Amino acid sequence: MKILAWNKPANNEAKIVCLGLFDGFHLGHLKLINRLMEIKTKQHLTTLFFTMSQSVTDFLHQTDTKLLDNKSKQQTAAKLEFDYYLEVPLTSEFMNLSAQQFLTILKERFHVVKIVIGSDFRFGKNREGDFNQIITFFGQENVYLITRQDDAFSSTKIRNLLLNHDLPAANKLLYEDYHLRGKVKPGKQIGRTINFPTANMYLPQKVILPYGVYITQTWAQGNLYPSMTSYRLFEGKEVVETYLLDVDLNLYNQEIIVYFKKYLRENIKINNLTELVDLLEQDLVDTLAFFANKA
């Protein structure tokens, strides 16, 4: 899969594109992508995956409610065998493009000839563009609408499930389980003194996942390990602390991916290390039971 840039012309291969934020790659997105691949095969076109770096809401409010980080989104598009990938950095300049300007760029700069789109996608300044405007521009025979039957697969529903601690239900609707990725950085190393060493990631801002303690699986050094994870605000920093079961790895400055499986409990203020050990030992019992039941 080749990566394209919004401000650079692409080659002149005729392309079929899907348009959307594609946050989380839920089952509704996969329905749209499957339709695109069917058309591609029948009409011998190359495929273009179009997305944006963040939602308009996150851009305006300086929040991060993504279900999927941008690197994971790009990797998923590659797994789905797209030929080209285009992620547009969301800026005021891009948001001020008219619907006509946006469609013209797709056609002239990226040689898009056909479009597959969800019924709720809007584009252009003030969300002025919709499916009907795309038909007018590209022609009825070149536009394919994928309608949403209900809210069963919406990103909003998945966010609400996460906010209500229902990770199993949220993960069933996602292409991959909800996860966070980042490089491991040194912490205070208190966990190492009580036989619960953690791999710590520091996030730039709060994510949609509620604070708390979770059963997780962690991808590290090419393997997937059972783990348990605390996500909390500590000393003004968004910290993800993960204890990998039955393995002691040096992960500093290495990227890991933490997949969240089940919510265990809220973060509890402790008064001493003895209380912390008691909590972690119970978390470990619950985590081991979870994976034993999955075996």
pLDDT of residue 100: 94
DSSP secondary structure string for all residues of 48-103 = EEEEESS-HHHHHHT----SS-HHHHHHHHHHTT-SEEEEEPP-HHHHTS-HHHHH
The pLDDT, as a whole number, for residue 150 is: 60
Q: What are phi and psi of 85, to 5 degrees?
A: -130, 130
Q: How far apart are CA 77 and CA 66, in angstroms?
A: 16
Per-residue pLDDT of the chain (295 residues; tens, 9 = 90+): 999 999 998 889 999 999 988 988 888 888 899 999 999 999 999 999 999 999 888 999 999 999 999 999 999 999 999 999 999 999 999 999 999 999 999 999 999 999 999 888 888 888 888 889 999 999 999 999 888 766 667 888 999 999 999 999 999 999 999 999 999 998 877 777 888 889 999 999 999 999 999 999 999 999 999 999 999 999 899 999 999 998 989 899 999 999 999 999 999 988 888 888 889 999 999 999 999 987 6
Angle between helices 99-110 and 131-138 (to 10 degrees): 50
Give the three-state DSSP class for 234. Answer: strand
pLDDT score recorded for residue 284: 94
Q: Please spell the DSSP secondary structure of 105-122, one letter per residue.
A: HHHHHH-EEEEEEETT--
Burial 203-230 (b: 16+ CB within 10 A, else e): eeeebbbeebbbbbbbbbeeeebbbbbb
State how far the Cα of 57 lies from the Cα of 295, in Å rounded to an integer.
41
Contacts of 262 (CB under 8 A, 6+ apart): 167, 168, 214, 215, 290
pTM of the model: 0.91
pLDDT of residue 93: 94
Q: State the Cα–Cα distance between residues 36 and 124, nearest whole angstrom.
A: 23
Domains along the chain? 2-146 (3.40.50.620), 177-294 (2.40.30.30)
Residue type, 56: V
CB 225 within 8 Å of CB 261:
no
Pairing mode, strands 255-265 and 179-183? antiparallel
In angstroms, the Cα distances linking 181 to 70, 202, 204, 239 are: 10, 10, 12, 12
Q: What is the pLDDT of residue 253?
A: 94
The runs of H, that is alpha helices, within the chain are: 27-43, 56-61, 70-79, 92-95, 99-110, 131-138, 155-163, 167-172, 190-193, 273-294
pLDDT recorded at residue 295: 67
